[in-house]
Amino acid sequence: MRMINLYSILILTLIICSFQYPQQSKLSKAVNHLSNFIASDYFLNLKKTNPDIALVDSIYLRAVESTDQDYSEALLALTFATIPYKEVPIETPIFKDIIYFPITSTNDSTFVLKNKNLPKKLYYDSPATDYGDKDKLAHFFGNAFLSYSITIFDLANGFGYFVESFEDDFKVQSRVDYRDLEVNINGDLFGKMLLNNKNLLPSDIILFRSLTYFSFIL
């Protein structure tokens, strides 16, 4: 089966969310809280004295705290709060029309500041650009949410077949490279390990990818 790509994550999280969070305002409130935190002057000051990977932990811990240690809700809110765009394009299977699916987000001004402040240097091979690896955060937390929540709600049986069918039928518009796949796997691992170790931090898993690479070349 193909690895779940980012657009699949976005749609699937909304599907699971519809069962777990019948009041969408709860998710919107959490996403707004995290977006405001990332866009804040306080977070900007953190960026001046901390590496980006530590900033990821700060965002994660803020999400856990603000959701009263509801890790499933925290991971879901993190997925949407770290997405650097407000909608995703999906091609319908019959008419081949492009539908722009709206993503839960914050107001425009906060959205711009949030995107500017998102951590971008996550891995040893993060692109040396202004954008860097900002899009990888949603990959990581989205897969972590699915892994953590599917186990809780016992949705694993047949879920892989649903993902495969979804991608085939709706031609999800996403370019997946090997780095996306590795980050997806990291996020999946984080979600599974979090079930048994609530002290685990995203940096514990994110650093593992870089450490694994350097262990092979030394």
User: Are 134 and 84 contacting, i.e. CB atoms less than 8 angstroms apart?
Assistant: yes
Rounded to whole angstroms, the Cα distance separating 81 from 40 reads: 14
> What does 114-155 look like in DSSP terms, one character per residue?
HHHHS----STT--SSSSTTTTHHHHHHHHHHHHHHHHHHT-
Q: Is residue 194 part of a domain?
A: yes
Q: Is residue 118 part of a domain?
A: yes
Largest CA distance in the chain: 53
Q: Which residues, other chains included, contact 24 with Cβ-Cβ below 8 Å and sequence gap of 6+?
A: 17, 104
Query: 107: domain range?
Result: 6-217
- From first to last of its 218 residues, what are the pLDDT tens digits of the chain? 334 455 555 555 555 554 455 555 788 899 999 999 999 999 999 999 999 999 999 999 999 999 999 999 999 899 889 988 887 666 666 767 777 777 777 888 999 999 999 999 998 889 899 999 998 998 899 889 888 987 655 444 444 444 444 445 545 545 556 788 888 889 989 999 999 999 999 999 998 776 665 555 54
pTM attached to this predicted model: 0.79
User: Are 137 and 184 contacting, i.e. CB atoms less than 8 angstroms apart?
Assistant: no
Q: Is residue 1 part of a domain?
A: no
Among candidate residues 70, 6, 7, 67, the one with its CA nearest the CA of residue 37: 67
- Give how many domains the chain has, as a whole number: 1
